[in-house]
Amino acid sequence: MAADLLGTLAPTVQEDHALNLEGVRRLEARTFNGSITVRAGTSAPHLTVRRKGDVSIHLEAQGDSFWIEARKNTPLCPGCGASLPEGLTLVLHSSNGAIQSEGSLARLEAHTSNGAVSVKGSGSAELRLHTSNGRITVVEAEGAVWAKTSNGAIEIRQVAGAVEAHTSNGAVVLEGLTLPPGSHSKAATSNGAVRVVGRAWRPRATPPTAG
């Protein structure tokens, strides 16, 4: 996991930590002001913190859950990025910054007050994505998607699950959707176009493991 804690005056300090996530099924990351980036299944669980100013990182494991939190002792801006195992349930919060997730998950909740939210290749995870001000983008997802922004476009492409998308100001683009039998999808905008385009998308089959 890599984290940028941004300030303007203090020197940058880098810290490196290995994360022991054995038995962990749910991970929650919170930052008071900055971006969060997650990549699942790309490398060993790892945390790199680059911070400026008097900012502390709190790590806590309890049962099958793990918490990462940036705490401010001075009003500087943190952000974080993570390399994590696949199949986790993630809860990501930022007060002011973008949230990005790439890789297969069990479930994802992402909330930011000001920033874009983007998700790619999330597997069968249920996605619940919210930003008060920013674009939401989802590409290559096999689970249900709920996306809401108060100000920004929503783009959902190559999804094999039910979709519910709401924006108060911006276009909604649904491309290459495959709806499960008996499901329905909904898209709404108060100011902008709604477009549904493209052929139904089928996720690529996982090749069998050699015995």
Residue-level pLDDT at 4: 41
* pTM check: above 0.85: no
Contact 122, 103 (CB under 8 A): yes
- 124 Cβ neighbours under 8 A, 6+ residues apart: 104, 142, 143
Structure tokens at 43: 């490398």
pLDDT along the chain (211 residues), means of 10: 45 79 93 83 80 80 92 62 91 90 96 95 97 96 96 95 95 91 89 84 58 46
* 35: nearest Cα among 139, 112, 107: 112
- Other beta carbons within 10 angstroms of residue 16's beta carbon come to 11
Alpha-carbon 210 to chain mean position: 32
Residue-level pLDDT at 198: 73
Bridge partner list, 47: 17
Tell me the CA distances in angstroms from 9 to 37, 45, 55, 98, 106, one per residue in order.
24, 31, 13, 23, 40
Structure tokens at 85: 């195992």
Q: Rounded to whole angstroms, how far apart are CA atoms 124 and 166?
A: 21
Residue-level pLDDT at 2: 42
